[in-house]
């Protein structure tokens, strides 16, 4: 079994490698923390079998990461604990290395003298820096696999796209090539054993994160739970077309945490949804709407964060958006809240407060409310730069799916018009699209949503 070579790209080709070993293949697992439907793991195993060597998987655990708390780390590490077990059952060693990859992976490579180093792709700036530093500090052949996007990011487009309307045709044209089923990882013929068994408690003890943001029980971590969640969603897929923008109804898939932590492949969800529509044409409208979000919008977010190094800064907005926001910098705001007031949900707007509480208490704000929530940050914060910073901080700290290309892009869409167009000019917003509570009331039962999220008060 070989995987499509356009999914892979050499970071250092065998011709450029300064060292040639006949040791194991090492997969430095980063974004795609799963055994099933993982093109990077499949590629690593294929290469190991072709070389007649063993396969090892290593994860580098940093003690802090952006604004992640124990809520996000707990979900990630519990998922990794199950992954380590599954890999072991397939004869593949899993090693948890404590520290940033540039600091710990080169020594690991020296210990194991790999014939090939494989990694997956994550567009975030810091992840790219890690990959570059590992490349500089190792000498073996090094290959990267896009195992997240249905259409590999670099194949879909070589540049930052303007919006869904420019990326959509490129992706749709390539779906017949890339939206295919996955082979399975096999029990590896040359077994490897870990340097030491994965120890969840030791991993947890190594963290230096905020322990006060509680883990959430509604989302069970791990690949098995991800597949259960997907099956649950397929069972209620029918309402996605009509109800997904209603935060009082359970129409969204709730799969974003599983995609974010790499516990479920977006391509698996896409295949299953497409199969459901093939079996029951009445589901077609919902499936089309789901695939638009899952593939086009999500891959557009990867495109934005990969090609725009300022994806989380005011300077990352289009020039028209910067111009219009600068023109309205001095506009008088009806309210100006501090970061602390936002965080504690202490605004005059009960709908905004409810959304903030939903995020803080459940770990996942409904998708429609995320737009309203971020728009109001722009309206009632002293500057757009501060609104952007507060939006990213709160999103990354409390959302289980935070620190994701979708999050940076969602905040930039709301506050900086990224992937959107210019609208009628108005105070504070300039030509950035406006949203208000009346618009929400036209779409859903605002009182019911507020009633659901009135307590607790966020003493924090
Ligand atoms: C201000 C703001 C902040 C956001 N923060 C995040 C975040 O931190 N992490 C995150 O994953 N998403 C974020 N989003 C995008 C979107 O709201 C979530 O992906 C979605 O609500 C997740 O819930 P779901 O999986 O049930 O969605 P579903 O409606 O079931 O969608 C299925 C999948 O499609 C993708 N998707 C859906 N909507 C979008 C979108 N607007 N842009 C890109 N991809 C999309 C996601 O991968 C999602 O899991 C944000 C949006 C905004 C406006």
| Ligand 1 pocket check for 33: Cβ under 6 Å | no
**Tokens in use for 236?**
């209620």
**Is pLDDT above 70 for 456?**
no
- Cα 201 to Cα 56: distance, rounded to the nearest angstrom: 22
pLDDT tens string 51-92: 999 999 999 999 999 999 999 999 999 999 999 999 999 999
Asked if 119 and 144 count as a contact pair (C-beta separation under 8 A), the reply is yes
Q: Say yes or no: CB of residue 259 within 6 Å of ligand 1.
A: yes
Nearest Cα residue to 61 out of 37, 30, 39: 30
Cα 345 to averaged position of ligand 1 atoms, centre (Å) = 22
Q: Is the pLDDT of residue 204 over 70?
A: yes
What is the DSSP code string of 404-438?
Answer: SHHHHHHHHHHHH-TTS-----BTTTBTSPP--HH
3-state helix, strand, coil in the chain (%, to 5): 50, 5, 40
> Domain spanning 5-147: which CATH class is it, in words?
alpha beta
397 lines ligand 1 (CB under 6 A): no
Nearest CA to ligand 1 atom 34: 294
Pairwise CA distance, residues 447 & 355, whole Å: 12
Nearest-atom index, ligand 1, CA of 244 = 29
Instruction: Give me the CATH code for the 314-452 domain, please.
Output: 1.10.579.10
Q: Do 131 and 92 meet the contact criterion of CB atoms below 8 Å apart?
A: no
Q: Which fold has domain 150-181+223-307?
A: 1.25.40
Phi, psi of 240 (to 5 degrees): -60, -45
pTM value is 0.98
255 C-beta closer than 6 A to ligand 1? yes
List, as one string, the DSSP characters of 353-413: HHHHHHHHHHS---HHHHHHHHHHHHHTSSSHHHHHHHHHHHHHHH-TT-SSHHHHHHHHH
Nearest residue (CA) to ligand 1, atom 36:
293
How far does the centroid of ligand 1 lie from the alpha carbon of residue 363, in Å? 13
Residue 428 contacts by C-beta under 8 Å, 6 or more apart in sequence?
328, 331, 333, 378, 379
The tens digit of pLDDT for each residue in 7-64 reads 999 999 999 998 888 999 999 999 999 999 999 999 999 999 999 999 999 999 999 9
Q: At what angle do helices 405-416 and 319-327 cross, to 10 degrees?
A: 50
The reported pLDDT for the residue numbered 260 is: 98
Banded pLDDT at 1 (limits 50, 70, 90) = low
- Report the length, in residues, of the chain: 460
Please list the residues that pair with 9 across neighbouring strands: 144
Output the six-digit token pair for 79: 């998922």
Q: pLDDT tens, 257-305?
A: 999 999 999 999 999 999 999 999 999 999 999 999 999 999 999 999 9
Domain ranges for the chain, please list them.
Answer: 5-147, 150-181+223-307, 314-452
Residue 361: is the preceding peptide bond cis (ω within 30°)?
Answer: no
pLDDT class of 438 with cuts at 50, 70, 90: very high
CA dihedral over 168, 416, 132, 69, signed as positive or negative: negative
Neighbours of 205 (CB within 10 A): 10
Q: Report the nearest-CA residue for atom 52 of ligand 1.
A: 410
**Do 5-147 and 314-452 have matching folds?**
no
Burial classification of residue 149, based on how many CB atoms lie within 10 Å of its CB (0-12 exposed, 13-18 middle, 19 or more buried): buried
> Does ligand 1 lie within 6 Å of residue 250's CB atom?
no
> Using an 8 Å Cβ cutoff, are 417 and 411 in contact?
no
């Amino acid at each position: 079994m070989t995987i499509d070579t356009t999914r892979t790209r050499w970071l250092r080709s065998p011709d450029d490698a300064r060292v040639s070993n006949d040791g194991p293949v090492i997969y430095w697992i980063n974004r795609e923390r799963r055994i099933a439907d993982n093109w990077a793991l499949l590629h690593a195993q294929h290469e190991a079998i072709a070389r007649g060597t063993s396969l090892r998987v290593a994860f580098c655990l940093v003690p802090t990461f952006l604004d992640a708390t124990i809520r996000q780390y707990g979900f990630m590490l519990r998922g990794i604990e199950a992954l380590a077990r599954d890999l072991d059952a397939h004869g593949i060693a899993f090693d948890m290395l404590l520290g940033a990859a540039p600091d710990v992976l080169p020594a690991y490579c020296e210990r194991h003298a790999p014939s090939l180093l494989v990694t997956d792709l994550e567009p975030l700036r810091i992840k790219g820096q890690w990959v570059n530093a590992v490349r500089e500090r190792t000498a073996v052949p090094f290959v990267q696999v896009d195992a997240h996007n249905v259409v590999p990011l670099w194949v879909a487009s070589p540049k930052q796209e303007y919006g869904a309307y420019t990326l959509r045709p490129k992706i749709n044209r390539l779906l017949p090539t890339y939206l295919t089923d996955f082979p399975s990882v096999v029990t590896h013929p040359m077994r490897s054993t870990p340097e030491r068994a994965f120890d969840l408690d030791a991993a947890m003890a190594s963290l230096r994160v905020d322990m006060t943001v509680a883990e959430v029980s509604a989302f069970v971590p791990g690949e098995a739970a991800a597949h259960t969640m997907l099956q649950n969603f397929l069972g209620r897929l029918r309402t996605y077309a009509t109800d997904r923008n209603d935060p009082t109804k359970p129409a969204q898939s709730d799969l974003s945490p599983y995609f974010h932590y790499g516990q479920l492949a977006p391509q698996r969800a896409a295949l299953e949804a497409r199969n459901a529509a093939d079996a029951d044409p009445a589901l077609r409208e919902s499936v089309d709407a789901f695939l638009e979000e899952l593939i086009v919008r999500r891959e557009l977010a990867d495109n934005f964060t990969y090609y725009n190094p300022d994806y989380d800064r005011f300077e990352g907005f289009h020039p028209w958006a910067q111009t219009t926001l600068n023109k309205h910098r001095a506009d008088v705001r009806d309210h100006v809240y501090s970061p602390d007031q936002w965080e504690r949900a202490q605004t005059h707007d009960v709908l905004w407060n409810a959304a903030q509480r939903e995020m803080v208490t459940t770990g996942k704000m409904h998708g429609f409310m995320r737009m309203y929530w971020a728009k109001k940050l722009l309206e009632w914060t002293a500057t757009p730069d501060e609104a952007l910073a507060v939006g990213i901080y709160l999103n990354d700290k409390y959302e289980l799916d935070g620190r994701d290309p979708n999050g940076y892009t969602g905040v930039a869409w709301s506050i900086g018009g990224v992937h959107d167009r210019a609208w009628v000019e108005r105070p504070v917003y300039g030509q950035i699209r406006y949203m208000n509570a009346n618009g929400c009331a036209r779409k859903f039962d605002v009182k019911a949503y507020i009633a659901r999220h009135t307590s607790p008060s966020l003493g924090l």
